């Protein structure tokens, strides 16, 4: 039975609707994980460090698709809730076309700016050359990477989260299969991993584009649109938190790499890479739930159904608490096998990764709260509050901690900084959620 945005959501129905979005985000996160696994085992730790060094820069260029997906879908869902279907389709088309144009622009600019930027950040020698090579290949698929992020969100707004899941599973399957073939089978190393990821991103962006251009049974279809600066500004404002989170998170990742090069060299960057791979998957569950539930929240906000908003808020809080505890326990208990999979061939790197992972695992107790809080305000079309939570989480707290803690605790301070920053961000999100309950009546 199809689940509609207008439905009343029990725990079972809420999980059924958001589950495809969670799996989509996990599989999207697995792109880097799979690349990292094959590169670490078949190309060495320098290539692994190179991927982790360039990936945050590429992510900044791709995050605009995520911004227009979250911010645009909040506006489109609200418009559907107001029963303005034609207007919703015009807005949907506008966000897709603008996202495509930006992806092409950033792809071209990246070709000229990538290498000098990495040199400025301290990359040199073999790691610089491999990072530049990997980045240039992914710049080719950047417009489709943007679209993949965007459509992952809009599939839920179109009431077809399972179809979005199928597309993501297909793209993820392409990535994994080609990684095994190109890296392990043909011995192409880092280049093979980059080609596999680029082809999977092409599939993840192109297939939804074809689907929404054709006649379909969803509320959304691509077609003619009008330039609407006000709508673009609202979409930008709604998705500002995701833009801030994506860009600042990548910038903080670059800062972490710089600090790790100083305190532990390439081994430190490689260890951080491994923790990030696992973190991407775990955090992907939080982001997936947030993305999947946001159109429901936006719809009922537009329909002024405050009773359902209260229902969604309470159930989301309970699910977030259970997930946070489960992820912490999983990360802590699985720290040994997860560290060994990526670094078992290098005893020094393995010990460094294991020690860091056991500290880093505590961050999962808090990270979901800030992510859910920011997404909730995005769905309510309150971009400034959403952006404030994301900015504090990914910039202020992270930067302050990663600059201060290593001076006292060295390498352990870098791992601990993530935990403290997530705790502070969760506290801020809770304060915003409690402070705005009467205003939005959730």
Neighbours of 170 (CB within 10 A): 15
Whether the predicted pLDDT of 354 surpasses 80: yes
Reading phi first (left if > 0) and then psi (alpha if -120 to 50, else beta), residue 441 is in left
Burial of 334 (0-12, 13-18, 19+ CB in 10 A): middle
Angle value at C-alpha 380, between 244 and 328, nearest 5 degrees: 60
Nearest to 153 by CA among 63, 21, 280: 21
pLDDT in tens, 214-272: 988 899 999 999 999 999 988 888 777 677 777 777 777 778 878 887 888 778 877 88
Whether the predicted pLDDT of 31 surpasses 70: no
pLDDT in tens, 381-398: 888 898 889 888 888 898
DSSP state of 396: I
- What's the mean per-residue pLDDT of the chain? 88
Q: In the chain, pLDDT over 90 holds for what percent of residues?
A: 48
Angle value at C-alpha 253, between 369 and 106, nearest 5 degrees: 105
pLDDT in tens, 293-307: 988 998 999 889 999
Q: Return the pLDDT at 154.
A: 93
Contact between residue 176 and residue 28 where contact means Cβ atoms under 8 Å apart: no
Nearest to 266 by CA among 47, 115, 15: 47
**Cα–Cα dist 440/333, whole Å:** 40
């Amino acid at each position: 039975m199809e689940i509609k945005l207008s439905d009343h959501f029990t725990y079972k129905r809420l999980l059924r609707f958001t589950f495809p979005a969670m799996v989509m985000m996990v599989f999207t996160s697995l792109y880097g994980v799979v690349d990292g696994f094959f590169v670490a085992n078949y190309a060495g730790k320098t290539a692994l460090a190179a991927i982790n060094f360039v990936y945050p820069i590429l992510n900044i260029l791709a995050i605009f698709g995520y911004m227009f997906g979250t911010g645009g879908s909040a506006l489109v869902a609200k418009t559907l809730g107001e029963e303005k279907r034609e207007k919703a389709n015009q807005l949907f088309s506008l966000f897709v076309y603008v996202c495509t144009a930006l992806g092409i622009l950033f792809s071209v600019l990246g070709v000229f700016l990538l290498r000098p930027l990495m040199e400025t950040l301290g990359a040199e020698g073999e790691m610089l050359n491999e990072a530049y090579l990997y980045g240039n290949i992914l710049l080719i698929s950047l417009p489709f990477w943007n679209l993949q992020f965007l459509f992952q969100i809009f599939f839920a707004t179109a009431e077809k989260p399972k179809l979005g899941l199928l597309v993501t599973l297909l793209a993820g399957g392409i990535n994994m299969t080609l990684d095994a073939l190109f890296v392990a089978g043909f011995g192409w190393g880092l280049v093979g991993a980059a080609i596999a990821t680029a082809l999977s991103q092409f599939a993840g962006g192109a297939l939804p584009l074809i689907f929404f251009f054709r006649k379909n049974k969803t509320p959304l279809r691509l077609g003619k649109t009008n330039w609407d600066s006000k709508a673009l500004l609202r979409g930008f404002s709604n998705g500002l938190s995701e833009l801030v989170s994506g860009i600042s998170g990548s910038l903080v990742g670059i800062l972490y790499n710089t600090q790790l090069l100083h305190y532990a060299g390439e081994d430190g960057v490689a260890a951080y890479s491994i923790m990030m791979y696992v973190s991407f998957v775990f955090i992907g569950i939080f982001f997936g739930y947030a993305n999947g539930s946001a159109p429901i929240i936006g719809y009922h906000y537009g329909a002024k159904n405050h009773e359902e908003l209260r229902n969604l808020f309470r159930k989301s809080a309970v699910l977030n608490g259970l997930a946070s505890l489960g992820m912490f326990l999983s990360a802590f208990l699985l720290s040994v096998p997860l560290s060994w999979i990526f670094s078992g061939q290098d005893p020094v790197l393995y010990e460094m990764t294991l020690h860091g992972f056991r500290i880093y695992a505590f961050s999962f107790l808090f990270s979901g709260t800030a992510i859910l809080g920011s997404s909730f305000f995005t769905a309510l079309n309150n971009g400034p509050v959403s952006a404030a939570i994301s900015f504090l989480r990914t910039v202020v707290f992270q930067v302050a901690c990663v600059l201060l803690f290593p001076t006292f605790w060295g390498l352990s301070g870098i791992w601990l900084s993530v935990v403290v920053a997530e705790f502070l961000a969760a506290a801020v999100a809770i304060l915003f959620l409690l402070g705005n309950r009467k205003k939005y009546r959730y």
